[in-house]
């Protein structure tokens, strides 16, 4: 089953027509708003080189989980 999604708002123009399978291996600087310098910082700090690396990063995944659980947490 083919999956399509419009990610133009979160991708730089050269990557907007890329298949999802290619985007996983695209540099994090392909994400709109992430500069080459910021991408280099992510690589230096966390070893993140690609969008797939960012998605799989333990700290990113933990932060997302914390934020989602906080939405439903009872005080």
pLDDT digits (tens, 9 = 90+) for 4-52: 789 999 999 999 999 999 999 999 999 999 999 999 999 999 999 999 9
Domain count across the chain: 1
Residue 26 domain-assigned? yes
Burial 15-29 (b: 16+ CB within 10 A, else e): beeeeeeebeebbbb
Residue 40 domain-assigned? yes
Residue 3 domain-assigned? no
Full residue range of the structural domain in which residue 67 is found: 8-72
pTM above 0.75, yes or no: yes
**C-alpha–C-alpha distance, residues 42 and 19, integer Å:** 24
Instruction: With residue 59 as reference, give the H or E element that holds it.
Output: helix 58-72
Whether pLDDT at 73 is above 90: no
**Which pLDDT score is estimated for 75?**
73
Of 44, 53, 16, residue with least CA distance to 31? 16
Going by pLDDT thresholds of 50, 70 and 90, the confidence category of residue 60 is: very high
**Which pLDDT score is estimated for 74?**
77
């Amino acid at each position: 089953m083919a999956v399509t999604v419009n990610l133009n708002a979160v991708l730089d123009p050269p990557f907007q027509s890329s298949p999802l399978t290619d985007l996983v291996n695209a540099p994090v600087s392909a994400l709109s708003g992430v500069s080459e310098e910021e991408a280099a910082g992510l690589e230096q700090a966390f070893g993140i080189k690609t969008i797939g690396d960012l998605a799989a990063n333990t700290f990113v995944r933990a932060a997302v989980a914390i934020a989602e659980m906080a939405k439903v947490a009872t005080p």
